[in-house]
């Protein structure tokens, strides 16, 4: 599948794209670009998307990176975009374990990023992509110099799902445990560190996966690719939001609907592993973590808590911004780029580049 080119979202010049097979024989769609002509080379950025995203959504970001002197490599995670789907129904966003996403990332880094472009090498990861990266920093430290993470999926925000959907999960949990779990609480208790859906949805997903039902869509989920701007939780920039919808209208095969119970279980296990006391200190890859002050998709307080336990990470919160910082209005997007420019490539990388030019 070639890159989708529409007038509102043209493919940046110099693109090379193709497919690469992972060791477990899943076909991953990738694309890469050299730095813009006339710019001073500053390294290579591998761009990691969030759930349900695709290469075409990041064309503007790719152009911004190239203008800064970076070559750019990006790809679609297995099960979404133009990469190989994992269920008979291509609209289901499914994966059984995040180890498979880590395999996608390692394959692209080794076979495309490191093999095609010179260092230093950096990662720019959003949401689910940031969660995948954080779960594998011990291995990635040998491949990357630094990473910038936007709104990493480390927890779900309180009130992110409706009370009706929570009750659906309660009923499913009661059925799966023969009434042992899923009973409503005796009184309303305000969630402190995790929302109600984590305490209910995560066990439901775990039991469903163990029962062989992991490929089923989450209760209350659907296969809809489009939501109206007024109901979206990703961005407050209507022009950028509508542009992404035009890409999906031209190529609906790029989109997926709600995640499966297997995907939720895999994400939950990865998130909870990063909440262990030793998870933060074990991160050795230098990271800049940016959070959105008005995020309604991931939990900003959980992100801040994680960074507070991580010596190798710095934290910046952009007040008033929604989840997709790179797709937000310019007033927020400019703050993201200012933070990025201050962190990448970093003093050591700059000195290395200067020595290489002498």
For the cut 90, the answer to whether the pLDDT of residue 41 exceeds it is: yes
Question: Which residue from 57, 18, 15, 20 is spatially nearest to 32, judged by alpha carbons?
Answer: 15
CA distance 272 to 206: 13
Question: Which residue from 352, 77, 92, 310 is spatially nearest to 217, judged by alpha carbons?
Answer: 92
Q: Are 52 and 93 in contact (CB under 8 A)?
A: yes
For the cut 70, the answer to whether the pLDDT of residue 339 exceeds it is: yes
- Provide mean pLDDT across the span 129-136: 98
The two beta strands, 287-292 and 121-126, are unpaired
**120 upstream amide cis, omega within 30 of 0:** yes
Would you place residue 193 in the very low, low, confident or very high pLDDT band (cuts 50, 70, 90)?
A: very low
For the cut 70, the answer to whether the pLDDT of residue 171 exceeds it is: no
User: In the sheet where 287-292 sits, what is the strand order?
Assistant: 16-21, 27-33, 70-75, 43-48, 121-126, 146-150, 287-292, 313-318
Would you place residue 231 in the very low, low, confident or very high pLDDT band (cuts 50, 70, 90)?
A: confident
Enclosing H/E stretch for 169: helix 163-176
What's the start-to-end Cα distance of the chain, in Å?
42
3-state secondary structure (DSSP) of residue 30: strand
For the cut 90, the answer to whether the pLDDT of residue 162 exceeds it is: no
CA distance 148 to 151: 10
Predicted pLDDT of residue 254: 96
Enclosing H/E stretch for 149: strand 146-150
Residues of the chain with pLDDT > 90, as a percent, come to 78
Specify the pTM: 0.89
Lowest mean pLDDT among 47-56, 152-161, 202-211, 319-328: 152-161
| All domains in the chain, ordered by first residue | 16-154+223-256+274-357 (3.40.50.1820)
Higher pLDDT, 277 or 107: 107
Q: What is the largest CA-CA distance in the chain?
A: 71
Q: Quick one: 61 exposed, middle or buried, by C-beta within 10 A (0-12, 13-18, 19+)? A: buried
Predicted pLDDT of residue 200: 80
pLDDT digits (tens, 9 = 90+) for 282-335: 999 999 999 999 999 999 999 999 999 999 999 999 999 999 999 999 999 999
- Provide mean pLDDT across the span 187-206: 66
Helix axes 261-273, 98-108, angle to 10 degrees: 80
pLDDT digits (tens, 9 = 90+) for 60-117: 999 999 999 999 999 999 999 999 999 999 999 999 999 999 999 999 999 999 999 9
Predicted pLDDT of residue 1: 65
Predicted pLDDT of residue 354: 64
CA distance 115 to 101: 20
pLDDT digits (tens, 9 = 90+) for 262-275: 999 999 999 999 99
**345 upstream amide cis, omega within 30 of 0:** yes
Residue with tokens 């076979």: 111
Sign, CA torsion 164/166/150/144: negative
Would you place residue 125 in the very low, low, confident or very high pLDDT band (cuts 50, 70, 90)?
A: very high
- Provide mean pLDDT across the span 191-205: 71
Residues of the chain with pLDDT > 70, as a percent, come to 86
Q: Write the secondary structure of 185-240 as one string of H (helix), E (strand) and C (coil).
A: CCCCCCCCCCCHHHHHHHHHHHHHHHCCCCCCECCCCCCCCCCCHHHCCCCCCHHH
Residue with tokens 């477990």: 24
Predicted pLDDT of residue 355: 67
The two beta strands, 16-21 and 43-48, are unpaired
């Amino acid at each position: 599948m070639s890159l989708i080119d529409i007038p509102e979202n043209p493919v940046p010049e110099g693109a090379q794209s193709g497919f690469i097979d992972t060791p477990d024989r899943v076909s991953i769609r990738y694309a890469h670009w050299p730095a813009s002509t006339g710019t001073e080379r500053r390294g290579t950025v591998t761009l990691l998307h969030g759930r349900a995203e695709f290469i075409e959504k990041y064309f503007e970001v790719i152009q911004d990176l190239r203008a800064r002197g970076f070559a750019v490599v990006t790809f679609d995670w297995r099960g979404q975009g133009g990469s190989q789907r994992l269920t008979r129904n291509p609209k289901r966003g499914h994966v059984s374990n995040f180890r498979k996403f880590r395999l996608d990332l390692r394959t692209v880094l080794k076979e495309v990023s490191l093999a095609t472009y010179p260092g230093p090498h950096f990662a720019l990861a959003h949401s689910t992509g940031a969660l995948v990266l954080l779960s594998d920093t011990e291995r990635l430290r040998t491949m990357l110099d630094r990473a910038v993470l936007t709104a990493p999926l480390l927890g779900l925000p309180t009130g992110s799902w409706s009370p009706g959907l929570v009750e659906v999960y309660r009923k499913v949990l009661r059925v799966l445990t023969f009434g042992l779990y899923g009973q409503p609480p005796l009184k309303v208790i305000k969630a402190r560190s995790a929302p109600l859906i984590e305490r209910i949805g995560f066990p439901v997903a775990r039991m469903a996966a163990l029962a062989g039902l992991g490929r089923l869509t989450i209760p209350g989920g659907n296969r809809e690719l489009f939501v109206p701007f007024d109901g979206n939780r990703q961005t407050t920039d209507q022009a950028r939001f509508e542009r992404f919808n035009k890409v999906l209208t031209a190529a609906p095969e790029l989109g997926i609907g709600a995640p499966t119970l297997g995907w939720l279980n895999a994400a939950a296990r990865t998130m909870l592993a990063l909440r262990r006391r030793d998870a933060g200190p074990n991160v050795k890859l230098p990271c800049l973590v940016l959070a959105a002050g008005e995020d309604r998709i991931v939990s900003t307080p959980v992100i801040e808590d994680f960074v507070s336990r991580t010596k190798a990470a710095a934290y910046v919160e952009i007040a008033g911004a929604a989840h997709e910082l790179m797709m937000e209005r310019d007033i927020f997007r400019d703050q993201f780029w200012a933070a990025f420019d201050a962190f990448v490539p970093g003093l050591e990388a700059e000195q290395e580049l200067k020595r290489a030019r002498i």
